[in-house]
């Protein structure tokens, strides 16, 4: 086996898990009336911390008054 295939085999579960978490976060964000795409991209960078933020942040209000 070459070095690239050995590297990819060890990292594949991490990439799949991280990508799945990003999709879940996008759905969670849309449920809270936030941008799914923005939270998907943010989740790719900060992962589980984005999930924590989404859970702790309240839904944004639609009007000020």
Is the pLDDT confidence value at 10 over 80?
no
Terminal Cα-to-Cα distance of the chain (whole angstroms): 64
Q: What is the DSSP letter of 57?
A: S
pTM of the model: 0.75
Which of 64, 39, 37 minimizes the C-alpha distance to 54? 39
The string of pLDDT tens digits covering residues 49-63 is 999 999 999 888 877
The string of pLDDT tens digits covering residues 13-47 is 778 889 999 999 999 999 999 999 999 999 999 99
Is the pLDDT confidence value at 2 over 70?
no
């Amino acid at each position: 086996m070459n070095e690239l295939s050995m590297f990819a085999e060890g990292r594949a579960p991490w990439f799949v898990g991280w990508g799945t978490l990003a999709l879940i976060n996008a759905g969670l964000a849309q449920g809270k009336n936030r941008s799914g795409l923005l939270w998907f991209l943010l989740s790719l960078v900060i992962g589980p911390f984005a999930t924590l933020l989404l859970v702790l942040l309240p839904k944004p209000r639609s009007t000020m008054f």
